[in-house]
Amino acid sequence: MKYLLIFGLTMAVIWLWQGKRRSNMADKTSPKKPKPQSRPRQLPATEIVACDVCSVHLPRTEALTSGRGVYCSDAHRRQAEG
């Protein structure tokens, strides 16, 4: 009777140990959600240039560039270059 009790206790310990191990393995294999990135979304790099006449800042893609300078509008280009 004493051995049966020890056997039962041993089985219970093994069962608990295996159950714990199984849950640990499940944690490892379960797909983890990617951590939310705190880094702000980066905008595409755009060079900012200043108009030679009014010094307004604008992206180079929207600026009027000529041999003599960078301008925000055709009016300022004409004003500067004549």
Q: Which residues bind Zn ion (CB under 5 A)?
A: 51, 53-54, 72, 76
What are the helix and strand counts (H, E) for the chain? 2, 4
How is 23-53 classified by DSSP, letter by letter? HHHHHHHSPPPPPPP-SPPPPPP--EEE-TT
> Please, what is the minimum distance in Å from the beta carbon of residue 71 to Zn ion?
6
**Cβ distance to Zn ion smaller for residue 37 or 55:** 55
**Cβ distance to Zn ion smaller for residue 53 or 69:** 53
> Please, what is the minimum distance in Å from the beta carbon of residue 45 to Zn ion?
23
